[in-house]
Amino acid sequence: MIELRGSRPNAGRLSRRDELLSIAADLFAEHGFARVTVDDIGNAAGVSGPALYHHFDSKESLLGEMLVRISESLLSKAITIVDEVSLAKALDPMIAMHVDFAVDNRSLITVHFRDLVHARKADQRRVKDLQSAYVDIWVDSVVADHSEVLDAREVRAAVHAVFGLINSTPFSGRLRRDALVSLLRTMAVAAITAV
Amino acid sequence: MIELRGSRPNAGRLSRRDELLSIAADLFAEHGFARVTVDDIGNAAGVSGPALYHHFDSKESLLGEMLVRISESLLSKAITIVDEVSLAKALDPMIAMHVDFAVDNRSLITVHFRDLVHARKADQRRVKDLQSAYVDIWVDSVVADHSEVLDAREVRAAVHAVFGLINSTPFSGRLRRDALVSLLRTMAVAAITAV
DNA sequence: GGAGTAGCTTAGTCACGGTTAAGTATTCTA
DNA sequence: TAGAATACTTAACCGTGACTAAGCTACTCC
């Protein structure tokens, strides 16, 4: 049994940890967290099962880290945008940003709102808080862009609807990337503008 | 230990089977299929665990039936609409129908596209076929309503995006029912019209 | 060149939960 | 009123899969 361990000082540029996270994301997206075993993840990474525990406390904490990262990433991007342009002008670039993310990270999108229930309570809490902050920025941006008074709860529901629209990428089939991006942007703008 | 079995000849009007299906749907929606035990379902129904096996072959087949029912129900409603009005005029009523469904069945919506992976392969196949037929009707309706030639794959992606928009009801918070219905209809129409 | 450490291995252990077995009470039917 | 059918009960089984233990190898850094 010839092993080529060590012949790969860091094959890609991702740390082992990130590599596992990425591999696990694809597996979770395809089969669901509960249906993927620790051995599955190991095998897909070219190592065997329990090796995972040298990088993560548990299967659940791996999931937790994955989900928290996504939420943090989206939130930080939204904050950056709002820092660069005024709140009232932030909506379009945020739509563009979110569409890019959804198109380029279909697996993460799927896992994110399918397997959150499988994460630890504390991680769920953290993810929900981050999401909530993210939604707040969108809501504030929509409100800031309108002169008339809007019902905040209605805007919130509308923002969630737009997320639903954009996050449909896992079902979008094999459309050319730029065609999909342009389609989703157009639809998202039209939908939120109709409120 | 006093049992009131039999003092309830058919408490509601649902058969035991339907009652279990409904209870399980709520539990699955809240915790996810994999996190709900057979005992949980039994307890919530006032019976104990294995009683379930007098009504279903397995936990998985219960899920399968639940998912297939949803898909069948949506498809049959779409077919009814198309039978009543012309294909080109079917879109608005279909949006209204789908919105009503999504608003009134949040649990089912959640389970439907979160726990499909946990169903038997055969049930997954059936659900996907039904969904596909449902999407086809929408796509045909959109195409029929336009005089210019549309890219079918693009329309398909757009329809999925509208589903994502409408199916956001599990995240919509506590908005008045009619306000939510009207919001989602407006946004859906605007989104699909923008294509 | 030896020690630390990162990263892995295989061989278990152990709890959880779906499922089966076997038996009981109630209602329905001939 | 037998006895079939329905709907349940509790107790037990047992496969699966997360996780632990203990030990090996090969780099890196003084």
Could you read off the pLDDT of B92-115 as tens digits, one per residue?
Answer: 999 999 999 999 999 999 999 999
The pLDDT tens digits of the residues spanning B37-78 come to 999 999 999 998 899 999 999 999 999 999 999 999 999 999
Q: Length of chain A, please?
A: 195
Tokens of B1: 């230990």
The pLDDT, as a whole number, for residue A15 is: 80
The pLDDT, as a whole number, for residue B116 is: 97
Tokens of A101: 């993310």
Alpha-carbon torsion (B154, B109, A189, A70), positive or negative: negative
State the Cα–Cα distance between residues B100 and B47, nearest whole angstrom.
32
State the Cα–Cα distance between residues B81 and B90, nearest whole angstrom.
6
The pLDDT tens digits of the residues spanning B142-167 come to 999 999 999 999 999 999 999 999 99
Instruction: Kindly report the average pLDDT of chain B as a whole number.
Output: 92
Which residues from chain B sit within 8 angstroms of residue A183, using beta carbons? 154, 157-158, 161, 195
Burial of A169 by CB count in 10 Å (0-12 exposed, 13-18 middle, 19+ buried)? buried
The pLDDT, as a whole number, for residue A16 is: 84
Radius of gyration of chain B (CA): 19
Q: Strand D footprint at Cβ < 7 Å?
A: A 5-6, 9, 36-39, 49-50, 53, 58-60; B 5, 16, 42, 47-51, 54-55
Q: How confident is the model at residue B12 (pLDDT cuts 50, 70, 90)?
A: very low
The pLDDT tens digits of the residues spanning A5-14 come to 333 333 334 6
Instruction: Kindly report the average pLDDT of chain A as a whole number.
Output: 92
In contact, B83 and B77? CB cutoff 8 Å: no
The pLDDT, as a whole number, for residue B130 is: 98
The pLDDT, as a whole number, for residue A14 is: 66
The pLDDT tens digits of the residues spanning A173-185 come to 999 999 999 999 9
Q: Length of chain B, please?
A: 195
Asked if pLDDT for residue A2 goes beyond 60, the answer is no
In contact, A142 and A195? CB cutoff 8 Å: yes
Task: Return the nearest residue to D20, CA–C1'.
Answer: A50
pTM, two decimals, is: 0.91
Q: How confident is the model at residue B14 (pLDDT cuts 50, 70, 90)?
A: low
In contact, B161 and B127? CB cutoff 8 Å: no
Q: Is A160 on the interface with B (CB under 8 A)?
A: yes
Q: What is the mean pLDDT of residues A162-187?
A: 97
Q: Name every residue whose Cβ is closer than 8 Å to that of residue A13 and which is 6 or more positions away in sequence.
A: none
The pLDDT, as a whole number, for residue A6 is: 33
Q: Name every residue whose Cβ is closer than 8 Å to that of residue A148 and which is 6 or more positions away in sequence.
A: none
State the Cα–Cα distance between residues A187 and A167, nearest whole angstrom.
12
Query: For A154, which of B166, B168, B183 is closest by C-beta distance?
Result: B183
Q: How far, in Å, are A44, B30, B88 from residue A152 at the CA level? A: 46, 26, 36
